[in-house]
Chains A and B, each alone.
Chain A
């Protein structure tokens, strides 16, 4: 159990590094892996490689890769938490309407041209972040009955509030005709045109949220047995649930606000990791983070290289890759178990 963490963390890290190297080198301009390593470790002096290569690596590709790492890890970690404390294998980070809330925020920002405010700063991420957090707050308050939040109620109100907000999004789309394709692309999710600022904006939320979740991973194990059973094992159920909801929603809201809605990662990665490594969340949380990062860097690399010069929305790639692989695992597991 705990050994798998020590064994597989370095393995996955190595895999991640290899994929990062490949991802930096491919694209409209191919740069060899050796040149990249030389650039990083400074054995090549300035002038020994084209300035354009330097810019492509450090200004365009690396920030995008780091963002993919953060978003992939964040969505997977949040997905693990949502599935565990909602005790629902169908749950993903967006299940309680976070994505819909973010989309309303983003939509409103397009509608009121806040995305072009001062022609420098785009307020879209801020609006999306606010929309996402506000949604979770509403859903939590709606399901609060006599000081308790039953997970079934929480799930149900989340789904309902989500569908209401999606209707609002459609309405906003209907109103903002000219920005329609912007919003559609935002909803599809993309890591294009991102820079280091986005990475550093996202990092603190992700770190805080993930650390809080990991600190509660034993409680998360117990919570999968149910609220009442957790109480009998000494968990302060409502307090813990509140902390878990805050932490996982913060992660989701932050990722959605910079990358839009990238589906499937947060649903599928936790399942893949559980199928291979079991359900102990002390192991599942960090390994899901790693696997999610690998999956999204890989998918995003495909997204920007498959149909050059066009970009495929990365959510399409994650679903196209993830679903068949998931089915394969599901079948394989079935045959070996029965």
Chain B
């Protein structure tokens, strides 16, 4: 068990964001969090990453209370890829990925050969080796996102938390990022937890899905169990057509206009 969450409540200036949430994520799972805007998906992810503190309730991470970990310990076990990666200092992609080694180094310690090997392999896994010497400020959105994932991998995490990793990318890059994550998940046994808006991608890649509605769990389970016409209509107030992808059987969703 990577995460065990009990009765999690989170309030922000007396506005309730998450209410009585229970959730567990298994080791090695590819887990997605879906739901409408403003239902607390990103908040939940930040709580799991230890950046926000719960108002009430409990988050256990790898068997221990999340609060017991100091920032450095945490940074060696989990990594976070956020949605907005704006960087205005012209670091090279390689230097950015090298920062992923921060939690393993002392103040004046110079990176060892091992650190550089880990960085190189992280860049290979994310296909960013060819842009290693380019400035992060000159990269396209998709390239920058992959560099940020490489930085997260350089932390050698058991869990990778991602906040909408495919937002703002074209379809080629979307599949590219998701495939890279899938390979990491299956080959390197990295547990993946992500917030994602694209229900087709969520349905295709996830082992399990959490559907949030107004800060509460609406449904959890396999993609077929969660992504149903009834659930989606209820939570998103939108009529959709869902059928089965003929070859692999994951739910396939078609959006329908309200006026046409």
Contacts and interface: CB of A to CB of B under 8 A. Distances in A.
B193 to A, nearest CB: 14
B205 interface: no
A2 B110 contact: yes
A232 B50 CA distance: 8
Interface stretch (A167-175, A216-224, A313-321): A216-224
A279 B95 contact: yes
A221 B105 CA distance: 13
Contacts of A234: 71-76, 102-103
A236 interface: yes
B90 A279 contact: yes
Contact of A232 (B75, B87, B89, B95): B75
Contact of B138 (A1, A224, A337): A337
B80 interface: yes
A224 B89 contact: yes
B107 A235 contact: no
Residue of B72, B99, B155 ringed by the most chain A CB atoms within 10 A: B99
A37 B105 CA distance: 45
Nearest to B151: A233
Interface string A220-245: 01101100110111111000000000
B127 interface: no
Interface string A254-289: 000000000000000000001000111000000000
A221 B110 CA distance: 14
Contact of B75 (A2, A216, A233): A233
A89 interface: yes
A29 to B, nearest CB: 46
Given A278-B90, A279-B89, A280-B95, A233 B155 contact: yes
A184 interface: no
A222 B72 contact: no
A280 B110 CA distance: 12
Residue of A219, A224, A234, A274 ringed by the most chain B CB atoms within 10 A: A234
B103 A278 contact: no
Given A233-B100, A234-B71, A337-B138, A228 B51 contact: yes
Contacts of B89: 84, 87, 224, 274, 279
A218 B91 contact: no
B43 to A, nearest CB: 13
Contacts of B102: 218-219, 222, 233-235
A215 B108 contact: yes
A222 B99 contact: yes
A235 B80 CA distance: 14
A229 B95 CA distance: 15
A128 to B, nearest CB: 32
Nearest to B135: A337
A312 to B, nearest CB: 34
B231 interface: no
B99 A221 contact: yes
Contacts of B257: none
Contacts of A231: 50-51, 71
A32 B143 CA distance: 59
Interface in B95-147: 95-96, 99-100, 102-103, 105, 107-108, 110, 135, 138
Interface in B52-95: 70-76, 78-80, 82, 87-92, 95
Contacts of B73: 234
B212 interface: no
Contacts of B90: 274, 278-279
Contacts of A89: 88
A229 B107 contact: no
12 contacts: A84-B89, A87-B89, A216-B107, A225-B96, A229-B80, A232-B49, A232-B80, A233-B103, A234-B72, A234-B73, A279-B91, A337-B135
Report the 10 A-B pairs with minimum CB-CB distance, sorted nearest first.
A234-B75, A234-B103, A234-B72, A232-B80, A279-B89, A233-B102, A224-B89, A234-B71, A279-B91, A215-B107
Interface of B: 49-51, 70-76, 78-80, 82, 87-92, 95-96, 99-100, 102-103, 105, 107-108, 110, 135, 138, 155
Interface of A: 1-2, 84, 87, 89, 215-216, 218-219, 221-222, 224-225, 228-229, 231-236, 274, 278-280, 337
Given A224-B89, A236-B70, A236-B71, 10 more contacts: A218-B102, A218-B107, A229-B80, A231-B50, A232-B51, A234-B102, A235-B71, A235-B102, A279-B90, A279-B95
